[in-house]
Chains A and B, each alone.
Chain A
């Protein structure tokens, strides 16, 4: 039995603050819980990996489509032909107004003479064009756009400018890609929303299982005066670890798969598409995966705690 130490001599308890050993305790409990119901933990990680792999694939697809569309935006020039009765000075005076048009990134004025030389230069038998006169051509502008998806609006606006006789643009490929991009974006959003809901559901169930297994411990915690946050932390850490492991695994996998695919594409010398290098997107993708892994892990545990713990 004990000596004559007095229980009432112990006065430090109620004023104690959270300490470093509490953090150690939370981490230990969080890790232990993951292995205590390994199958559910494994399922949680797998669903996060699947979710992020699919989402990442759509993102990389969208990045590549955007890259191609971007190239086309550079190539896709609107040609705005100026009224033939306007002098060069008058034609040049339209530059500011054209540049102010919605979606225009830059404009480049081409005189009649330059247009004529360019025309002749595109043909091998230049002698046939010896008597061609610059007045046969119009002053014109090459106009570059910011977003090929908005090119129709830009054309309409330009047609209303006084002095612009006609505007031309080749929209076939650009329109197809813009449509494809829209479809990919729409499908991605639906799939991402469904997978996000499934991930949260499975993560929440994993944490619920952990709560169920530790219900006796939790009731003891509450009985001896644990705060809600103390009870929550181990489960939050468990969710965080599962989410992070899923995110990291998915990132490594998508990196490997994309690297492999990019390598195969480069092997086809005449292939007109070059995949965007992974190094161009890995920081953003890593941060996105990390944020989603964190969100699903911590959010899933918060859902379970709020619904079933009622602390």
Chain B
């Protein structure tokens, strides 16, 4: 669950990235966030993942108040969030299995459980036959599915996808989107930041539009009062 209440973010160089942003994403919800470059989308993602703190206002993520959270507790918050990036951010020297297992290894999961869980998640994203492949042997869509598997493997209650289809062709983009929708149907809250109008239109979900650091539209069933690129 995400709750932003009247959030402001002013960077050290004086840039006012967010000017009173408020919205709530309930557990199990699926939403798109749209907006042009510099609108404040990246700042919101960074606030949600704990990379930056709000200048003013309140940010609650999965029960953690992001203004009050200590550095010691930050890893435990991050274990409740799966983040997917446009550039996949896979480790080239590791196999598909190891890239996904890595996320479990860092939180101290025993090997036996890693083997079970990674196999299951790779099956979920359709990569059960690519277990030993390296990222550079995979297509862009497959690499993104590895990133999704990694985001999913620790069973987060929230998935944040930052332009997850930005480097993919339309067919692969739709594939990824449908996969994220399926993950949402399994109970995980999903927030997708994207520029791609066909994808937003395809699913008829909630759309939060942001521009100039303010929410300018927040509509259900694919409605948005904003011209998506």
Residues of chain A whose beta carbon lies under 8 Å from any beta carbon of chain B = 1-3, 5-8, 10-14, 16-19, 21-22, 25, 216-217, 219-228, 230
Contact = CB atoms under 8 A, between A and B. Distances in A.
Give me the 3 closest cross-chain CB pairs, A-B, nearest first: A225-B79, A2-B124, A226-B106
B183 interface: yes
A7 B105 contact: no
Interface of B: 49, 71, 75-80, 83, 89, 91, 102-111, 113-114, 117, 120, 123-126, 150, 152, 154-155, 183, 186-188
B110 A222 contact: no
B102 A5 contact: no
A291 B199 CA distance: 61
A8 B123 contact: no
Given A16-B107, A223-B49, A225-B75, A11 B155 contact: yes
Given A1-B126, A13-B155, A220 B89 contact: yes
Given A13-B154, A224-B107, A225-B76, A6 B187 contact: yes
B124 A1 contact: yes
B107 A226 contact: yes
A10 B76 CA distance: 17
Contact of B91 (A3, A6, A12, A220): A220
B151 to A, nearest CB: 8
Contact of A225 (B106, B183, B186): B106
A224 B103 contact: yes
Contacts of B120: 2, 5
B109 A16 contact: yes
B187 A8 contact: yes
A216 B94 CA distance: 13
Nearest to B124: A2
Nearest to B111: A21
A1 B76 contact: no
B89 A221 contact: no
Contact of A227 (B75, B110, B123, B150): B75
Contacts of A11: 155
A222 B78 CA distance: 8
A225 B154 contact: yes
A7 B186 contact: yes
B117 A19 contact: no
A19 B109 contact: yes
8 contacts: A1-B126, A6-B186, A13-B104, A13-B154, A19-B111, A220-B89, A222-B75, A223-B83
B75 A226 contact: yes
Given A21-B105, A217-B91, A220-B91, A12 B187 contact: no
A125 to B, nearest CB: 91
A222 to B, nearest CB: 7
B76 A14 contact: yes
A9 to B, nearest CB: 9
Given A222-B78, A225-B78, 15 more contacts: A2-B120, A2-B125, A5-B120, A5-B124, A6-B186, A12-B109, A13-B79, A14-B76, A14-B79, A14-B80, A220-B103, A225-B75, A226-B75, A226-B106, A228-B75
Nearest to B83: A223
Nearest to A229: B75
A226 B150 CA distance: 14
